[in-house]
Homo-oligomer: A and B are copies of this chain.
Amino acid sequence: MLVRNHYLSVDPAQRGWANDEGNYSAPVALNTPMRALAVGEVIESRAPGFQEGEFIYGWFGWQSYCAATPDAVLRRVDPSTLPLSANLSLLGINGLTAYLAFNGLGNPRPGDHVLVSTAAGSVGSFVGQLAQIAGCRPVGLTGSREKAEIARARYGYEEMIDYRQEPDVALAIKRACPQGNDIFFDNTGGIIADAAIRSMRLNGRVIQCGTAANASWSPTPTGPRQEREILTRRLRWSGFIIFDHIAEFPAAAADLTQLAARKEIVFDEEILIGLDQAPLALARLYQGANRGKLIVSLLG
């Protein structure tokens, strides 16, 4: 089918795909479009089950049009309730990761104490809100005062820890979470995770969604052994990668759409206009200059 892209996603992984060495995914070849998630409209279709005029979300690349096969499609898009761009933010991999990892692995219960690393980030901004919706008490960590304020004001966090201002992160966690934590939603690993794990209550759940704290894993960095914490606190520490859960996307997106339609969840987007803005948007993401999910619009 021929897909006309309306919105393109800008994601940190794309910087790695521009290297000549693969990691999870193969590098993007020279003179081919950057691999990217996008929302597009089916213009022509010879694919069974896909109709002209239908909107879809998938791997359509940084380009105006994509000749796509059905295996590139992650989810069909309902264009009627939320702006189309929301399919790359709230209903994209960031919102879906927060929703499926937090609810699926976190097993949140009303009254649970929840700690989130990178709380003001593209995933953490939804975890705080989902924790509030579940009746939990979310506390977040972030690396600037400004982000801490946004997370408190907009993303549901009861308290925020600006870890760059804290000489002792473990002590700061103890102060912000005096009763310990039932769920730790972690995008960083490293010393923040070491301290967070030692704040867990019995039967706590640790959700490992990323390991951004360590830039290199070769050679393997060392840290305090965790096996005794896992045993004595009866933790359940799980890894989560969103693309294992594609079958769950439609139901999760439908639920998130309802939450947003009822104004129970907010999503922040920063939309740049024009295909030529895409590389600049990626640079902006790495400078930490964006306020919300970075999206490129091709409609302007």
Contact = CB atoms under 8 A, between A and B. Distances in A.
Interface string A211-227: 10010010011111111
Interface in A17-66: 24
Given A193-B227, A227-B186, A231-B210, A237 B237 contact: yes
A239 B235 contact: yes
Given A225-B189, A225-B220, A238-B236, A230 B214 contact: no
A225 B223 CA distance: 6
A228 interface: yes
A186 B226 CA distance: 13
Interface residues of A, number: 33
A217 B231 CA distance: 13
A240 B236 contact: no
A227 to B, nearest CB: 4
Given A225-B222, A236-B236, A231 B211 contact: yes
Contacts of A210: 231
Contacts of A211: 227-228, 231
Contact of A234 (B186, B231, B236, B241): B241
A244 B238 contact: no
A81 interface: no
A84 interface: no
Contacts of A231: 208-211, 239-241
A233 interface: yes
Nearest to A244: B234
Interface string A189-208: 11001000000000000001
Nearest to A186: B227
Contacts of A241: 231-232, 234
Nearest to A226: B226
Contacts of A222: 222-225
A149 B198 CA distance: 40
7 contacts: A186-B227, A189-B225, A190-B225, A210-B231, A211-B227, A234-B238, A234-B244
Given A190-B227, A217-B228, 12 more contacts: A189-B225, A220-B225, A221-B224, A226-B226, A230-B237, A230-B238, A230-B239, A231-B240, A231-B241, A234-B238, A234-B241, A236-B239
